[in-house]
């Protein structure tokens, strides 16, 4: 092997000025500044706004768990479900939350494999968002079963023989979903934790109190930044990214099978897997922007989560939003071209039936709003981006509502047509799930580094032994 | 690590830039040390070659996990829906790898991920909460913005004065300190 010391003398051609990329960390911040800025967030006392935000979130979380207790003790009828709409807000919320998670995995895994170095500033918070969103998502399908003890304990969902010694039925996509979502939650958590280990060691080495030193020490597992460890660590991280990529694509595909494998008009369509995955990434990036735009300014992290990051995420919104818009159009085309009167009716009914308002809410939020991002001026206006990201979140919730409720409420038999109206328990359980999500996210800000410290350092020029800022002597 | 408490653990050399430690690692490798390590706040690109490390074998653990996962998924579904309690649904076959695939696929990924994680922990011998380096105050900077090389006294080429001179003069370390065991 040639000595890298000698090869350092090889000159790399300097790119022309207009091709030089904007740095990922602005103002040439030194490595120590990065540590202080990011670790400082969870070391200093939280700013004043944190407490009211936390109290409101905990209130929402308590509301949700109280209403779930009410549901379990009374029956699933406390939600507005009826026949034929026996899936409504519950499964809408499930698909909504699980979709949000997908952006986190996309940023952490897919962009890692594609060597998109800008991901390092946003991946930690986005992965945290994934895990918390999956936690919120899991609640709805579990409790929509009503007598939840039958679903969980004797094993209709998980393979344990039930009272009649019958095993779960593996031909059902609902059971595939159980495996997909629980694998997704577990692997996301592992991936997140692996990424956290070096940063927990940083917090351990900076900790003042014994409590912090103990817990950060415990969870950083005795990490020393040894290069023999980094070598295995980086390979493990690469492999986890390689595993999470097919995983994230499979999860929302399998979620879409819950619908596509059935025979309900409006559901029974082959476009669902790619359409759901694109929608999931679209909604997830919406939520990442909703969370990170306030975070970067509240904690003065604009030098690490730069405008370039915001802009790149807007481009992802534009791309995935266009795919979603295309899918809406293609669904309509196939409903007509396919020649099935039931299918065609389902789509006419979506746009002009009793739920027309939800359909047009979806169209205006998802099809129109991302197209503002063709303009650089709008992509770089953080307030505008933040507002659009909220619309994306709303629109993607409506998309799932449209798919689920408008398809179910009128299917083959007009005699069993109905109309779904949510009960107050439906509404407050969903609102409360935001409380759970925000509680977890605020605790994450309070105790863990919101940006991957070691990864951000790794993409600075100071980290490159062949760069003048990394201390390289001689010409570059 | 030495088992004799009177012996020092090794010499710890501190560097201030990525380039310095990169050059120093090449010199340590070329000097033929074996029980030594580089400690950096982030992985430095090319350091594995500079240290002369072999490729990480984590992938084998991933493969074993994935193989086990796929095989477990398929066997489980065959056993449950065809062998132990034949479950007729819609006249479809009791078992085919087609409907068993999504679950087996997820199991493959799940156990590959566990294999990767625990394989990495095993290869790195983590968790390891006792480490003589933690007693050194300077070493706390190894997770911040400083770079370290530690040559252990257990290394056959280690000589207290000779190695100290090597680190200071040949490797241009900013500071060289003795670390007690």
Compute the distance between CA of residue A15 and CA of residue A443 in angstroms, rounded to an integer. 44
pLDDT of residue A61: 97
* CA B75 to centroid of chain Cα atoms: 33
Chain B residues in contact with A174 (beta carbon < 8 A): none
Average pLDDT over residues A224-244: 94
Judge whether B64 is closer than 8 Å to chain A, CB to CB: no
Give Cα A397 to chain centroid, integer Å.
14
Chain A interface includes B16 (CB < 8 A): yes
Cα B113 from Cα A87, distance rounded (Å) = 33
Whether A471 sits inside 8 A of B62 (CB atoms) is: no
Are the Cβ atoms of B142 and A225 closer than 8 angstroms? yes
Instruction: Identify the band that residue A7 occupies on the pLDDT scale cut at 50, 70 and 90.
Output: very low
Please tell me if residue B35 touches chain A, with a CB cutoff of 8 Å. Answer: no
The pTM of this model reads: 0.91
- Only one residue has tokens 């129109």, namely A368
Instruction: Report the pLDDT averaged over residues A168-187.
Output: 92
Q: What was the pLDDT predicted at A163?
A: 65
Inform me whether the pLDDT recorded for A476 exceeds 60: no
pLDDT (mean) for A302-318: 91
Q: What is the pLDDT of residue A132?
A: 95
Q: How far apart are CA A223 and CA B120, in angstroms?
A: 12
Asked if B126 lies within 8 A of A222 by C-beta distance, the reply is yes
Q: Exposure of A387 by Cβ count < 10 A (0-12 exposed, 13-18 middle, 19+ buried)?
A: middle
Q: How far is A218 from chain B (nearest CA, A)?
A: 8
Q: How far apart are CA A218 and CA B25, in angstroms?
A: 30
Measured between CA atoms, how close is B103 to chain A, in angstroms? 5
The per-residue pLDDT for A461 is 87
DSSP alpha helix (H) spans, A338-381: 341-352, 356-363, 376-379
**What is the distance of C-alpha A260 from the center of its chain?**
23
Residues B95/B81, Cβ–Cβ less than 8 Å? yes
Q: Chain B residues with CB inside 8 Å of A227's CB?
A: 25, 37-40, 43-44, 47-48, 51, 53
Tokens of B5: 């408490």
Judged by CB atoms closer than 8 Å, whether chains meet at B45 and A194 is answered as no
- Dist. CA B121–CA B126, nearest whole Å: 5
Domains and CATH numbers, chain A: 33-460 (1.20.1630.10)
On whether ipTM exceeds 0.90, the answer is yes
In the prediction, which pLDDT does A3 show? 44
Spell out which residues of chain B touch residue A233, defining contact as CB-CB under 8 Å. 43, 120, 124
3-class secondary structure, B116:
helix
For residues A84 and A417, give the distance between their C-alpha atoms in angstroms, rounded to a whole number: 7
Nearest CA of chain A to the CA of B162: how many Å?
Answer: 23
**Which residues on adjacent β-strands are paired with residue B38?**
B149
Map out the domains of chain B as residue ranges: 8-54+128-180, 58-124
Tens digit of each residue's pLDDT (9 = 90 or more) over A85-142? 989 999 999 999 999 988 888 888 888 888 888 888 888 999 999 999 999 999 999 9
Q: Which chain B residues contact residue A6 at CB under 8 A?
A: none
Specify which residues B5 forms β-bridges with.
Answer: none
Query: Which of B20, B45, B144 lies at the smallest CB-CB distance from A471?
Result: B20
Quote the CA–CA distance of A322 and A335 in Å, as a whole number: 20
Calculate mean pLDDT across residues A144-169: 76
B102/A173 CB distance under 8 A: yes
Burial class (CB in 10 A: 0-12, 13-18, 19+), A365: buried
User: Distance (Å) from the C-alpha of residue B8 to the closest C-alpha of chain A?
Assistant: 19
Residue with structure tokens 């032994």?
A465
pLDDT at A12: 62
Beta-carbon count within 10 A of A212 CB: 16
pLDDT of residue A5: 45
Per DSSP, B174 falls in state S
Min Cα distance A166 → chain B (Å) is 7
- The more confident residue out of A152 and B144 is B144
């Amino acid at each position: 092997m040639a000595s890298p010391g000698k090869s350092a003398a090889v000159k790399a051609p300097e790119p022309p000025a207009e091709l030089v990329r904007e740095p990922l960390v602005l103002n040439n911040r030194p490595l120590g500044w990065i540590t202080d800025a990011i670790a400082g967030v969870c070391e200093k006392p939280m700013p004043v706004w944190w407490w009211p935000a936390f109290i409101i979130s905990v209130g929402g979380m308590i509301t949700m768990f109280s209403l779930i207790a009410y549901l379990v003790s009374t029956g699933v009828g406390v939600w507005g479900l009826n026949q034929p709409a026996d899936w409504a807000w519950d499964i809408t919320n499930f698909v909504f939350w699980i979709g949000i998670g997908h952006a986190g995995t996309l940023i952490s895994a897919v962009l890692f494999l594609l060597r998109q170095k800008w991901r390092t500033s946003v991946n930690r918070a986005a992965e945290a968002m994934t895990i918390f969103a999956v936690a919120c998502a899991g609640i709805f399908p579990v409790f929509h079963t009503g007598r939840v003890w039958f679903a969980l304990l004797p094993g209709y969902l998980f393979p344990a023989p039930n009272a009649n010694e019958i095993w779960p039925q593996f031909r059902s996509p609902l059971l595939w979903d159980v495996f997909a979502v629980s694998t997704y939650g577990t692997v996301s958590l592992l991936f997140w934790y692996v990424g956290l280990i070096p940063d927990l060691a940083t917090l351990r080495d900076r900790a003042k109190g014994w409590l912090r030193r103990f817990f950060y020490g415990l969870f950083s597992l005795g990490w020393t930044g040894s290069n023999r460890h980094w070598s295995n660590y980086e390979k493990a991280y690469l492999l986890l990214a390689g595993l999470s990529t097919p995983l994230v694509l499979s999860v929302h595909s399998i979620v879409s099978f819950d619908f596509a494998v059935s025979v309900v008009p409006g559901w029974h369509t082959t476009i669902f897997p790619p359409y759901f995955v694109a929608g999931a990434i679209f909604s997830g990036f919406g939520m990442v922007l909703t969370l990170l735009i306030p975070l970067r300014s509240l904690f003065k992290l604009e030098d690490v989560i730069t405008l370039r990051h915001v802009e790149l995420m807007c481009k992802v919104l534009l791309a995935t939003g266009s795919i979603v818009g295309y899918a809406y159009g293609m669904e309509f085309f196939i409903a007509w071209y396919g020649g099935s009167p039931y299918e065609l009716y389902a789509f006419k009914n979506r746009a002009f039936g009793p739920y027309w308002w939800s359909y047009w809410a979806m169209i205006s939020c998802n099809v129109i709003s991302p197209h503002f991002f063709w303009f650089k001026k709008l992509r770089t206006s953080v307030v505008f981006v933040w507002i659009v990201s909220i619309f994306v979140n709303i629109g993607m919730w409506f998309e799932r509502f449209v798919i689920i409720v408008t398809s179910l409420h009128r299917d083959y038999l007009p005699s069993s047509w109905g109309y779904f109206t949510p009960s107050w328990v439906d509404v407050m359980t969903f609102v409360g799930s935001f409380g759970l999500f925000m509680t977890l996210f605020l605790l994450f800000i309070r105790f863990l580094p919101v940006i991957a410290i070691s990864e951000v350092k790794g993409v600075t020029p100071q980290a490159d032994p062949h760069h003048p800022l990394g201390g390289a002597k001689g010409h570059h | 690590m030495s088992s004799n408490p009177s012996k020092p653990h090794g010499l710890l050399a501190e560097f201030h830039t990525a380039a310095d430690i990169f050059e120093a690692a090449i010199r340590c490798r070329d000097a033929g040390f074996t029980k030594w390590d580089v400690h950096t706040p982030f992985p430095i690109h090319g350091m594995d070659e500079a240290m002369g490390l072999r490729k990480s074998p984590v992938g084998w653990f991933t493969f074993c996990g994935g193989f086990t996962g796929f095989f477990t998924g398929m066997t489980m579904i065959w056993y449950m829906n065809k062998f132990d309690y034949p479950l007729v649904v819609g006249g479809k076959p009791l078992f085919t790898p087609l409907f068993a695939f999504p679950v087996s696929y997820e199991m493959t990924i799940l156990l590959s991920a566990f294999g990767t994680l625990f394989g990495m922990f095993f290869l790195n011998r983590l968790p390891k909460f006792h480490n003589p380096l933690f007693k050194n105050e300077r070493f706390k900077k190894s997770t911040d913005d400083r770079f370290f090389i530690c040559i252990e006294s257990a290394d056959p080429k280690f000589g207290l004065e000779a190695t100290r001179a090597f680190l200071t003069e040949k490797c241009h370390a900013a500071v060289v300190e003795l670390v007690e065991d």
